[in-house]
Each structure stands twice: as structure tokens, then as C-alpha cells.
Amino acid sequence: MALGQLIQTGTPDSAEISLLVEDAWQHRGVGTALLGALASEARAAGYSELVAWCLPSESALVRTAARAGLEATTRREDGLLRVSIAPRGRALKAPVATVMAEKSR
């Protein structure tokens, strides 16, 4: 249904993230819960920035970050949109599986 990755980069305080939510599960809070969980893990690991890359026309990750209570900034770089997310903000209170069980009711 969904996959999220927190990938160590060559910069000690920055990690790359990726999110993929199956079409049938989109718009149900899965990505928001997953991003919140990744941000919590990133905070615990000492990262101060999460970076993701997407096409310039895409805005879903920025909206997802806002829903997760995370600040995001963007800039164009090498023909792509670089999304920088500060992994602070509200912490995910429940495991992703619990959030999804509640959303599917």
C-alpha cells in the first residue's frame, strides 16, 4: 500500500526521503502518516533536513508536509523541484498501522 525511505546522504545533517503510496490508498492520510513517521525517525537520528526531488509540476509532497505539521521549502535545481523539509513539528502520536486502521473505518 505504501513505502517510505529515509536515505543517508553525504551530508551528515541531511537525509533524502522518498514516498510512494499506491493509487487506491491516496487521499486517505497514508502519506501524511508515513512522512510524519519518517520525520520522527530523522529527528531521533539527528537530521535537521529531509530532501526529496520531484517534477516541478508536482506539489503533493509540499501539501503532505503541511498536513504532517512540517515546514517545507522548494527551489528548482537541475530541472527538478528540490523539496527541503525540516523534520521538526508535531510528532506522530500513533504507529502508522494504527492511523490507517482508524482511517479505514
pLDDT confidence of residue 89: 62
| Residue range 35-68, pLDDT digits in tens | 999 999 999 999 999 999 999 999 999 999 999 9
| Residue range 9-19, pLDDT digits in tens | 999 999 999 99
Q: Residue 105 domain-assigned? A: no
Residue 98, pLDDT > 50, answer no
Check which CATH number belongs to the domain holding 19 and give it.
3.40.630.30
The 10 Å CB-count burial string (b at 16+, else e) for 32-59 is bbbbbbbbbbbbeeebebbbbebeeeee
pLDDT band, very low/low/confident/very high, at 88 (cuts 50, 70, 90):
confident
- Show the domain range for 80: 2-100
Q: Taking residues 98-105, what's their average pLDDT?
A: 48
The burial class, CB within 10 Å (0-12 / 13-18 / 19+), for 67 is: middle
Q: Residue 61 domain-assigned? A: yes
Count structural domains, the chain.
Answer: 1
Residue 93, pLDDT > 70, answer no
